[in-house]
A and B are shown apart, each in its own frame.
Chain A
Amino acid sequence: MACSLQDDASNKHDFTSPSGSNVTVKVISTTPNVSARFAKASHNDAPLPVKNGDTIAFTVDPGENTLDLVVNASDPNCNIRILEDCGGTTQVLDEFPNDPGDPVVGYSILGL
C-alpha cells in the first residue's frame, strides 16, 4: 500500500493527500529505551481513538484538514518521530525534540 501523505511543495500546508485516503499515523521515540504515546488525537476537531497508545487512523476529507496530537514521552529529553504507516513500510512525517511543556503538535493536510 502506497503512502498517502506527501510534503506540500507550495509550503501552504504541511501535507497533501488524495481525499478519501485512509491514513494511519504512529508515534515513536528515536531515543533508545524511551516510549512515546498519544494522550489525545483529533482530526478536524473530532476525537480519534488511540490504539495501543501509539497509533491513530483517519480518512482525509476534501479541502482543509487539521490533525492535532497530544504527545507524551517517558524521557523529556528524547526525540519524537511521527510516522505514516503505509502497510509494510513507513514514512517519516515529522521529527522533533520532545517538549514536555507543550505536548501539542498539529498539522494541516490538503485533501485533493
Chain B
Amino acid sequence: MYRTIILVVCFLFNAAATLPQSVGGQLQSYQTDLTAAKTTPPGSPQRHEAVKHLVNPRFHPQRFVLFAMGYDEVLLQQVLGLWDQSRVDKQIGSTATGSASTDLVSLPSTPELFGLAMNLGALTQSVSGSVATFRGNADGIMRSVAGQPLGCNGCTATNGLKNLSFAVSFDLSRQATQQAVTSGSANSATTTVPTAVLLPKNSKQFSSFNARYDIYNPKDTRSAAFQKTWDKWFSDHQKDLEAAGEKLLAPIQALLDPLFKEDSEKFTDLRGKYATDLEQADPEKIDFVLNEYLSKVVELVRNDLPNFDQQLLTVRAGYATYAQTYEDLFKELRGKPQFSAEYTFSTPVNQPDLHNLRFIFASNPFSGGGLLSANAAVTLYGGQLPAGAKYGRLRDFQFAAQFDRPLGNLSTHPAVFTLAGYLQYQFDPSVINIGPGNLVPGTTITLPQDAQVLLGKKGTMGIVQAKVTLKLKNSGVKIPMAVSWANRTDLLNATDVRGHIGITYDLDSLFGHQ
C-alpha cells in the first residue's frame, strides 16, 4: 500500500513536469500563444501562427485589456472561484469511518486542486483522534504544478485523470510505548527499582488512504454530462447569448476600432514590424519584444480615446455581463444528480487494517436549495485472518444520508446547516490487536506474542448528527462544528454523545481560481 501511494505521487509529479510552464506578470493572459511561440523555431509556420495571435489585439481582446490595466488575472477564474465557493458538495476531510471525522456522509465532489482538513473527534469509533487530511485531484495537481489555471484552456494532457482524486490522513494524536529494561536506581532514595518502564516512541501516524472516481458528476465543467447539458442549454438560450454577445462586442469595438480604422496606418505598420521581429526572435527575447509592442499599442489607443481608462472598465463590464449569462447555466446544473465511488484503506488504532468500498449519490431536490447525499458502503478486514479466527473477512455494511442546506443566499451563504443519519450493521464484535510486550488491558500480565481479542458486540450502530459549517468569506476556509448521538461505538456498547470541530481549506479558491 505504501509503495502504491509513493508510486502514484511520483507519477503525478512526473506527468506535471511534461506540461508547459507559465509566464508571469502582465503577459500571463498571453501564456498559451507565448508558449507556442517560444517552443517553435524562428521563421516556422507554427511560430507565424502564434505571432499572429499575439500581435492582434482583437484576438481574445480581454488579454489586451488586462495588459493595459496592468492585471495578470483572467475573468473566468474569478467567475469559477465564486462558483466554487458557493458549492456545498465537496468532501475535504476524512470519511465517517476514519478517526476524527466530522462527516457522517461522504459528499460527491472533491476539490479540483488541493484540500486540507484538520478534524477533532470521532463518529463510529470509541477512540477520538486529531486527524489531518490532505486531499487532491490528480488532474488539478498536474495543472497547478505546471502553472496552468484550473479552468484550463486547451489542456488535454491530463483528461484521463480529471475524475480521479485521492486523500491521505494522518492521526496526529496517536502515541505508542515500548518497554525498556532499567539498569538500577539513580539515587539512594530510590529503594524500589522497577525492572522495566514504558517509554514513548514514534508511532505510525498514517491513518487512511482514499481514492475516489467520479462516475457521473455534471457539476464538473469538464465532464461529458456537462457538455451534453450545455448543448441543449445553448439552443434554448441562443437569443439570450446573442444579446449578451452584442453587449460584449460593442465596447470592444469602441475600444479597438480607432486602431483599425482612424489610426490604421500607424497601427498596421507597428503590427507588421513587430510581427516580423517576433517571428525571428530568440525564445528568451519574445517576452520583452511583445511587452514593448503591446505598450506602444496601448499608447496609440490611449491617444485616440480620451476616456481610455473608462473604456477599459466598460469592456470588462461587458465580459462580466457575458459571464453572468453563463452563471445561469451553473444554476441549472445545481439540480443534477451526482454519483461517485471511493475506496479507503485505513489503519485504526490497535485494530486490523480495513478496506472500505463506498458508493456516493447526491441530488438537489429543491432546485439547488440544498444537497441530499446518500452513501452505501461495505468494510472488509485486511491482511491474513489468523488461524482459528472467530470473525469473518466481512466486517460491516453501512448506509448513511445527509441533507445540507445553505443558510442565506445560495451563492454567498455564510454557513451551511447539515442533518445526517448513519446505520452500520457489524457482523462480529470488533477485533482488537495487542502486540507482544504489552500488558493485557487492566492487568499486569505481559503478552509474549501478538494477540487479538473481541470487544463490543455485533449488530446495528445508529448515529445522528447536526452540524453547522461556517464559511469564511472568499477564503476557501470552512469550520464545521457538529454534535452527534450514537447508540454505541465500535468498541463500547453504551450510548455516546460527542462534539466535533474541524477546519478545512479548499485550495481551489486560494490557488487555482484567483
Q: Give residues in A with beta carbon < 8 Å to B.
A: 10-14, 31, 33-35, 37, 39-40, 42, 45, 47, 50, 53, 64, 66, 68, 70, 72, 74-79, 94-108
Q: By the criterion CB–CB under 8 Å, are A102 and B63 in contact?
A: yes
- The total number of A-B Cβ pairs within 8 Å is 147
Q: Does B77 lie at the interface of the complex (its beta carbon under 8 Å from any beta carbon of A)? A: yes
Across the interface, A68 reaches (CB within 8 A) one of B77, B242, B249, namely: B249
Knowing A40-B245, A74-B230 are in contact, say whether A108-B272 is a contact too (CB < 8 A): no
Q: By the criterion CB–CB under 8 Å, are A106 and B58 in contact?
A: yes
Q: How far is the CA of A34 from the CA of B58 in the complex (A)?
A: 25
- Whose C-beta in chain B lies nearest to the C-beta of A38? B245
Q: Does B401 lie at the interface of the complex (its beta carbon under 8 Å from any beta carbon of A)? A: no
Q: By the criterion CB–CB under 8 Å, are B75 and A39 in contact?
A: no
Across the interface, B271 reaches (CB within 8 A) one of A11, A31, A35, A98, namely: A11
Across the interface, A39 reaches (CB within 8 A) one of B51, B52, B241, B275, namely: B241
- Whose C-beta in chain B lies nearest to the C-beta of A105? B59
Q: By the criterion CB–CB under 8 Å, are A79 and B154 in contact?
A: yes
Q: Does B299 lie at the interface of the complex (its beta carbon under 8 Å from any beta carbon of A)? A: no
Q: By the criterion CB–CB under 8 Å, are B322 and A107 in contact?
A: no
On chain B, the residues within 8 Å of A104 by CB distance are 58, 60-62, 248-249, 252
- Whose C-beta in chain A lies nearest to the C-beta of B256? A106
Q: By the criterion CB–CB under 8 Å, are A45 and B58 in contact?
A: no
On chain A, the residues within 8 Å of B55 by CB distance are 11
Q: By the criterion CB–CB under 8 Å, are B61 and A106 in contact?
A: yes
- Whose C-beta in chain B lies nearest to the C-beta of A37? B234
A-B pairs with beta carbons under 8 Å apart, 13 shown = A11-B276, A40-B249, A45-B253, A64-B264, A66-B260, A68-B249, A70-B245, A75-B222, A77-B159, A99-B154, A104-B248, A106-B56, A108-B260
- Whose C-beta in chain B lies nearest to the C-beta of A11? B275
On chain A, the residues within 8 Å of B241 by CB distance are 39-40, 70, 72
Q: Does B284 lie at the interface of the complex (its beta carbon under 8 Å from any beta carbon of A)? A: no
Q: Which of B335-385 contact A (CB under 8 A)?
A: none
Give the interface centre of B60, B74, B79 by most chain A CB atoms within 10 Å.
B60
Known: A77-B152, A77-B155. 11 other contacts (CB 8 A): A35-B234, A40-B249, A64-B264, A70-B245, A79-B154, A99-B60, A101-B79, A104-B60, A105-B58, A106-B256, A108-B56
* Distance (whole angstroms) from the CB of B81 to the closest CB of chain A: 12
- Whose C-beta in chain A lies nearest to the C-beta of B262? A64
Q: By the criterion CB–CB under 8 Å, are A34 and B227 in contact?
A: yes
Q: By the criterion CB–CB under 8 Å, are A107 and B58 in contact?
A: yes
Chain B contact residues (Cβ within 8 angstroms of A): what range?
35 or more
Q: Which of B134-176 contact A (CB under 8 A)?
A: 151-156, 159
Q: Does B76 lie at the interface of the complex (its beta carbon under 8 Å from any beta carbon of A)? A: yes
* Distance (whole angstroms) from the CB of B338 to the closest CB of chain A: 19
Q: By the criterion CB–CB under 8 Å, are A12 and B269 in contact?
A: yes
- Whose C-beta in chain B lies nearest to the C-beta of A75? B227
Q: How far is the CA of A10 from the CA of B275 in the complex (A)?
A: 9
Q: How far is the CA of A47 from the CA of B339 in the complex (A)?
A: 43
One digit per residue, 1 when the CB lies within 8 angstroms of any chain A CB and 0 when it does not, for chain B 84-114 equals 0000000000000000000000000000000
Q: By the criterion CB–CB under 8 Å, are B238 and A53 in contact?
A: yes
Q: How far is the CA of A90 from the CA of B151 in the complex (A)?
A: 32
- Whose C-beta in chain A lies nearest to the C-beta of B62? A102
- Whose C-beta in chain A lies nearest to the C-beta of B326? A100
Q: Does B213 lie at the interface of the complex (its beta carbon under 8 Å from any beta carbon of A)? A: no
Q: By the criterion CB–CB under 8 Å, are B52 and A101 in contact?
A: no
- Whose C-beta in chain B lies nearest to the C-beta of A110? B268
Q: How far is the CA of A72 from the CA of B74 in the complex (A)?
A: 17
Instruction: List the 6 closest pairs (A to B, CB-CB), nearest first.
Output: A97-B154, A101-B76, A40-B245, A106-B58, A11-B275, A12-B268
On chain B, the residues within 8 Å of A37 by CB distance are 234, 238
Q: Does B246 lie at the interface of the complex (its beta carbon under 8 Å from any beta carbon of A)? A: yes
On chain A, the residues within 8 Å of B74 by CB distance are 101-102
Q: Does B53 lie at the interface of the complex (its beta carbon under 8 Å from any beta carbon of A)? A: yes
Q: How far is the CA of A34 from the CA of B154 in the complex (A)?
A: 13
- Whose C-beta in chain A lies nearest to the C-beta of B261? A64
Q: By the criterion CB–CB under 8 Å, are B252 and A68 in contact?
A: yes
Q: Does B257 lie at the interface of the complex (its beta carbon under 8 Å from any beta carbon of A)? A: yes
Q: By the criterion CB–CB under 8 Å, are A72 and B154 in contact?
A: no
Q: By the criterion CB–CB under 8 Å, are A107 and B153 in contact?
A: no
